[in-house]
Structure 1
């Protein structure tokens, strides 16, 4: 995996509902029947997030979607468990948290508020490699999920580190992150997004009960079962995964050259290559039953649980 400095434009396009719908239909036409086999990952709300993340450039959005499908088939986020304690498992645990939060979201929400606790954090915790991989996963495979990121009471040295990683974070994402400290001014920010009666006192709230590990563990076990129930062992999901993995391995599905081109350009050889490869994928999965489920509720979001 490689991370590149973000070179995207800071100027965001504004499209009318009709124009957005047209872009969405264009994406659906490009990915074909795959959308029917993976209805959640290719839902209207999901496609719109990929389009917004790539400033409504359909070629770039399709490439991003393609890379996400490849990543999900290889990473298998639906199989991650919550109680990992290995260093290498921490990024997988982050993916687990994202999948769990998405699964629990309300139907009228698309973005999350992240509250990050820095208690116990030390400079030795810094890893540029882990930070870049984390940014890559969150930005490229969960587009437009972050509404606001609150970094609560980070040490001053972290601010310097945050400046160092700025080139690897999309400008839109960077602007969504706020540094919050235990002072009256910051309390206004916390009060705007959280119920202070439920928010732990460690974050400026009025709940002095603290963290209940047993209750958390029980909730996580219940959520693990929800995710497990979404996977039908009797279906041909592994076969579908195999087909998609083989078909999506080639970057020719959507050529890098084609993705760099403007959306204003008409039909090109890059578009034809993408269409041809997608048709190959479609033909291979036509026989797969609709019971093959993409595991994630991409059409819903809820505000984070404060504990």
Structure 2
């Protein structure tokens, strides 16, 4: 009698650090040569996020990341500046909070009832600008942000057009994977349920699992909010003790300063890419530039 033992391919353990590192290196090799800005974007933390988004499948992660690099080259999210989209923020419908969550992560506050424009492109670029700014503000040891969405006063008249909602969902999921830690939908009205059923079709299961419905008059649901954000820093309208109020004038000053930080962060890479393009036209190998210590924030 002969005994045949079936060979099994080694299974990937997502909790095994060594296996994770091997996948990250495999993905980096699969990407091939990158531009200077591409190198800055594709940090280890960035590669890890794309791998997590595709269940550590290197080929799928590579395709996803390559699409993001193409999108960033065409859309230039890092070049959007406050004066271009400031009108979108006049009512305080979306902004980076002055406080952070219990883990030090950036909190983005959204108030859809304060919608003040009808420009599809303007609203999409405003979202991208806010995301880039929130990422730039993350501590070096953090990769994700918290969304706090206040539905006070919201009606279907304030609902984002399906076309805009679809594009925003596409950008969020395909080009900012694993950036959302938790999403708090605060006091959504009954009528929102119908809109949510439509929007859910644009979201992946992972994103849906991160969304929590919280109601001010429901103590149990408020515990979810307090788990992530200390009531001492939470604004009064969210049931906290912080009397902070959005000021468009003050926020604008902050964003102008952040625009300088953003420009400074990417400027050297823009110059290097231009120089490398000229050099490559003369068949000289590309010059490699050291990545910045804050590169993980941009990716």
TM-score, normalised by the number of residues in structure 2:
0.74
SS at structure 1 position matched to 2:183: strand
Distance in 2 (CA, whole Å) between partners of 1:299 and 1:170 is 24
Distance in 2 (CA, whole Å) between partners of 1:144 and 1:127 is 25
1:179 positional shift:
1.1
Out of 140, 145, 149, the residue aligned to residue 107 of structure 1 is 140
| Alpha-carbon contact 1:107-1:299 (below 8 Å) kept | yes
- The aligned runs of 1:48-127 (5 Å cut-off) are 48-82=48-82, 83-85=86-88, 87=119, 88-124=121-157, 125-127=159-161
- Structure (1 or 2) with the larger CA radius of gyration: 2
Distance in 1 (CA, whole Å) between partners of 2:284 and 2:135 is 26
1:199 positional shift:
1.6
Relative distance call for 1:55 and 1:13 in structure 2 (3 A) is: farther
| Alpha-carbon contact 1:27-1:62 (below 8 Å) kept | yes
Deviates more, 1:91-100 or 1:80-89: 80-89
1:169 positional shift:
1.0
What is the alpha-carbon root mean square deviation over aligned residues? 2.9
Mark the runs of 5 or more structure 1 residues left unpaired by the alignment: 1-11, 244-280, 302-307
State the partner residue of 1:220: 255
Larger RCO: 1 or 2 (CA < 8 Å, sep 6+): 1
SS at structure 1 position matched to 2:296: coil
State the partner residue of 1:167: 201
1:299 positional shift:
2.0
Out of 288, 296, 299, the residue aligned to residue 299 of structure 1 is 296
Distance in 2 (CA, whole Å) between partners of 1:288 and 1:166 is 45
| Alpha-carbon contact 2:35-2:273 (below 8 Å) kept | no
Distance in 1 (CA, whole Å) between partners of 2:295 and 2:186 is 28
Q: What are the Cα deviations for residues 243-273 of structure 1, in whole angstroms up to 9, with x where unaligned?
A: 9xxxxxxxxxxxxxxxxxxxxxxxxxxxxxx
| Alpha-carbon contact 2:43-2:296 (below 8 Å) kept | yes
Distance in 1 (CA, whole Å) between partners of 2:234 and 2:208 is 25
State the partner residue of 1:42: 42
Out of 250, 268, 271, the residue aligned to residue 235 of structure 1 is 271
| Alpha-carbon contact 2:184-2:211 (below 8 Å) kept | yes
| Alpha-carbon contact 1:84-1:90 (below 8 Å) kept | no
Between Structure 1 and Structure 2, the one with more strand by share is: 2
1:25 matched to 2:59? The reply is: no
1:105 positional shift:
0.7
| Alpha-carbon contact 1:114-1:148 (below 8 Å) kept | yes
1:154 positional shift:
1.6
Q: What are the Cα deviations for residues 123-180 of structure 1, in whole angstroms up to 9, with x where unaligned?
A: 1223211111111100110111111001111221112211222222110111100111
Distance in 2 (CA, whole Å) between partners of 1:216 and 1:145 is 23
How many residues are matched?
Answer: 249
1:207 positional shift:
1.7
1:137 matched to 2:136? The reply is: no
| Alpha-carbon contact 1:40-1:297 (below 8 Å) kept | no
| Alpha-carbon contact 1:200-1:207 (below 8 Å) kept | yes
State the partner residue of 1:195: 230
1:52 positional shift:
0.5
Relative distance call for 1:106 and 1:75 in structure 2 (3 A) is: same
1:285 positional shift:
9.2
TM-score, normalised by the number of residues in structure 1:
0.72
Distance in 1 (CA, whole Å) between partners of 2:28 and 2:143 is 20
Mark the runs of 5 or more structure 2 residues left unpaired by the alignment: 1-11, 89-116
